[in-house]
């Protein structure tokens, strides 16, 4: 898809902007990843990563970025025996995951509204 978009829009001064807008519009309907505590889910197919086609998947970035990543680091570290287990019930971990999901979705919605606003301004000022 990315290669197709790159080849389609040429090299004029607006080609990059057109490509970015369409890339954004194509990816917008994709389902967002959700944080969850594996201990509260019985269906292991929910651990599957569709795009990577792997049955078990966890994702995290540097733990300085998001609280959810800190939790994942701590849980993986405990699972590997590098630290003592976290003293939290799985329901409490899931409650934190739900809160992180809510905040992430709210942030995404603000980002989308901001993009919509700036796009409408761009369209208005362009002849």
Do 45 and 6 lie in a common domain? no
Q: What is the mean pLDDT of each run of 10 residues along the chain (127 residues)?
A: 69 79 71 82 83 81 78 89 91 93 91 89 84
Do 14 and 50 lie in a common domain? no
Question: In Å, how far from its chain's centre is CA 118?
Answer: 22
Domain count, the chain: 2
Q: Please answer whether residues 45 and 31 qualify as being in contact, where contact means their C-beta atoms are separated by less than 8 angstroms.
A: no
Do 17 and 39 lie in a common domain? no
Q: Which two tokens stand for residue 127?
A: 């002849």
Do 77 and 16 lie in a common domain? no
Q: Please answer whether residues 37 and 29 qualify as being in contact, where contact means their C-beta atoms are separated by less than 8 angstroms.
A: no
**pTM of structure:** 0.65
Domain that holds residue 56: 34-125
Do 100 and 75 lie in a common domain? yes
What is the pLDDT at residue 47? 83
Q: Which two tokens stand for residue 23?
A: 């890339």
3-state SS, residue 85: coil
What is the pLDDT at residue 78? 92
Do 44 and 80 lie in a common domain? yes
Do 105 and 66 lie in a common domain? yes
């Amino acid at each position: 898809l990315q290669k197709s978009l790159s080849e389609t829009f040429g090299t004029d001064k607006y080609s990059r902007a057109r490509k970015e807008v369409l890339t954004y519009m194509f990816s917008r309907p994709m389902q967002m990843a959700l944080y969850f505590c594996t201990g509260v889910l019985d269906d292991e197919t929910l651990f599957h990563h569709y795009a990577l086609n792997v049955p078990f998947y966890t994702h995290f970035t540097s733990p300085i970025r998001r609280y959810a990543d800190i939790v994942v680091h701590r849980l993986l570290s405990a699972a590997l025996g590098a630290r003592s287990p976290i003293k939290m019930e799985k329901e409490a971990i899931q409650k934190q995951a739900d809160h992180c999901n809510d905040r992430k979705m709210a942030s995404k919605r603000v980002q989308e509204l901001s993009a919509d606003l700036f796009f409408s301004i761009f369209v208005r000022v362009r002849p």
